[in-house]
């Protein structure tokens, strides 16, 4: 088996970091957004959103490793983070995101 080049190792490390960090960020923002917007009692909405976050995290991990380039994967994860963050800001308002009471 041929030894892998340092550039290949760096690309794999980049995908692992992106999958872990970006996947966590997307899952956390999705959980927060769904908790605020699902049309059910708050406790059920939070539970449902939390359960869905595990599937979302797994999907982001698969997506990061399935895309052809690390740059494309990073762009897609960053785009999802921006869209979810904007949606959460619109749904919950800046006061709630800053740590204020609702």
In this prediction, residue 37 carries a pLDDT of: 92
CB contact at 8 A, 86 and 95: no
> How many Cα atoms occupy the beta-carbon half-sphere of 47 within 13 Å?
5
In this prediction, residue 95 carries a pLDDT of: 63
Inform me whether the pLDDT recorded for 94 exceeds 80.
no
pLDDT for 21-40, tens place per residue?
A: 999 999 999 999 999 999 99
Give residue limits of the domains in the chain: 17-88
- If one counts every other C-beta atom within 10 angstroms of the C-beta of residue 84, the result is 21
Inform me whether the pLDDT recorded for 15 exceeds 70.
yes
In this prediction, residue 6 carries a pLDDT of: 86
pLDDT for 68-84, tens place per residue?
A: 999 999 999 999 999 99
In this prediction, residue 3 carries a pLDDT of: 55
């Amino acid at each position: 088996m041929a030894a892998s080049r340092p550039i290949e190792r760096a690309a794999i490390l980049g995908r692992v970091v992106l999958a872990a960090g970006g996947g966590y960020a997307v899952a956390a923002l999705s959980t927060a957004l769904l908790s605020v917007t699902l049309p059910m009692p708050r406790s059920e909405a939070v539970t449902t959103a939390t359960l869905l976050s595990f599937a979302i995290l797994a999907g982001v991990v698969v997506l990061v490793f399935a895309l052809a380039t690390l740059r494309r994967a990073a762009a897609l994860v960053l785009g999802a983070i921006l869209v979810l963050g904007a949606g959460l800001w619109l749904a919950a308002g800046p006061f709630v995101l800053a740590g204020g009471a609702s």
